[in-house]
Amino acid sequence: MASGWPPLSSRCRSSPINPANALPPLTAYYAMRVGTLPLLPYHAPGDSGLEPLAERTARTHHAVLLANHGPVVAGATLEQAADAIEELEETAKLHLLLRGHATRPLTPEQAAALAP
């Protein structure tokens, strides 16, 4: 049976992810509420090796992305943390929808001026 989709093997290839910032700042609100999103390497659930790495990274970031698990966000209040995860999810959705299309993320200088 023929399909209009490319072979599954070509659809599942992942593009390189910048471990220092896994998601580009596509919107000003993302830059304001999340800043940069470091990608932490995979650790199995309960692996005590994640704790020191996550703690060290969280000292300088409001959000981290745990490889093969998902995001963890923090905020001064529950409302700020909820706003940050909502913005992260919407930006991730935009990133996936726009993959392969020309985008113009904020420049590093623009994002830094808005960073939390």
Q: Of 8, 10, 19, 29, which is the active-site residue?
A: 29
Distance CA 84, CA 60 (A): 15
Quote the DSSP letter at residue 88. H
Q: Is 29 a catalytic residue?
A: yes
Query: At 11, is the secondary structure helix, strand, or coil?
Result: helix
Burial (Cβ within 10 Å: 0-12, 13-18, ≥19) of residue 42: exposed
Active site residues: 29
